[in-house]
Amino acid sequence: MDRRKFLTATGSTVATMTAAQYSRVLGANDRLNAAVVGVNGRGKSHIRAVAANPGMHVGAVVDIDQSVAEKATAYTKQHQQDTPKEYRDLRDMLADKDIDVVTIATTNHWHALSTIWAVQAGKDVYCEKPASHNIWEGRKMVEAARKYKRIVQVGQQSRSTPFKIEAIQRLREGVIGEVYMAKGLCFKRRKSIGSTAVSAVPPGVDYDIWLGPAQPYEFKQNRFHYNWHWHWAFGNGDIGNQGVHEMDVARWGLGVDHLPEHAFSAGGHFVYDDDQETPNTQHVTFDYGGRMLQFEVRGLVTGGECRLLEDSGGGNHTIGVLFFGSDGFLTISNQGYQTYLGEKRTPGPRRPSDGDATGLHFENFRKAVLSRRVSDLNCDVLEGHLSAALCHLANISYRTGDKLLFDPESERFVGNFGANTLLKRDYRAPWIVPEEV
CA–CA dist 432, 423 (Å, integer) = 15
CA–CA dist 49, 349 (Å, integer) = 31
CA–CA dist 248, 141 (Å, integer) = 18
Q: Residue 95: what pLDDT?
A: 98
Contacts 24+ apart (CB under 8 A), 71-74: 71/39, 72/36, 72/39, 72/40, 72/43, 72/44, 72/47
Q: Residue 314: what pLDDT?
A: 66
CA–CA dist 396, 389 (Å, integer) = 10
At residue 311 the predicted structure's pLDDT band, cuts being 50, 70 and 90, is: confident
Is the fold of 3-157+358-380 the same as that of 159-354+388-420? no
| CATH architecture of the domain formed by 159-354+388-420 | 2-Layer Sandwich (3.30)
The terminus-to-terminus CA distance of the chain in angstroms comes to: 28
CATH fold of the domain at 3-157+358-380: Rossmann fold (3.40.50)
Q: What is the pLDDT of residues 93-114, one digit of tens each?
A: 999 999 999 999 999 999 999 9
Confidence check: pLDDT of 307 > 50 = yes
DSSP output for 18-48: -HHHHHHHH-TT--EEEEEE--SSHHHHHHH
Distance of CA 335 to the CA centre of its chain: 20
Q: Residue 184: what pLDDT?
A: 98
Q: What is the pLDDT of residues 147-201, one digit of tens each?
A: 999 999 999 999 999 999 999 999 999 999 999 999 999 999 999 999 999 999 9
Q: What is the pLDDT of residues 130-158, one digit of tens each?
A: 999 999 999 999 999 999 999 999 999 99
| Alpha carbon distances (Å) from 161 to 128, 332, 338 | 16, 12, 15
Phi, psi at residue 363, to the nearest 5°?
-65, -40
Q: Residue 192: what pLDDT?
A: 97
- Burial per residue of 24-47, b for 16 or more beta-carbon CB atoms within 10 angstroms, e otherwise: ebbeeeebbbbbbbbbbebbbbbb
**Sequence ranges of the domains in the chain:** 3-157+358-380, 159-354+388-420
Find the range with the poorest average confidence among 14-18, 33-37, 215-219, 246-250: 14-18
What's the whole-number mean pLDDT along residues 243-254?
98
CA–CA dist 424, 64 (Å, integer) = 25
pTM above 0.75, yes or no: yes
Confidence check: pLDDT of 17 > 50 = no
Bond preceding residue 213 cis, omega within 30 of 0: no
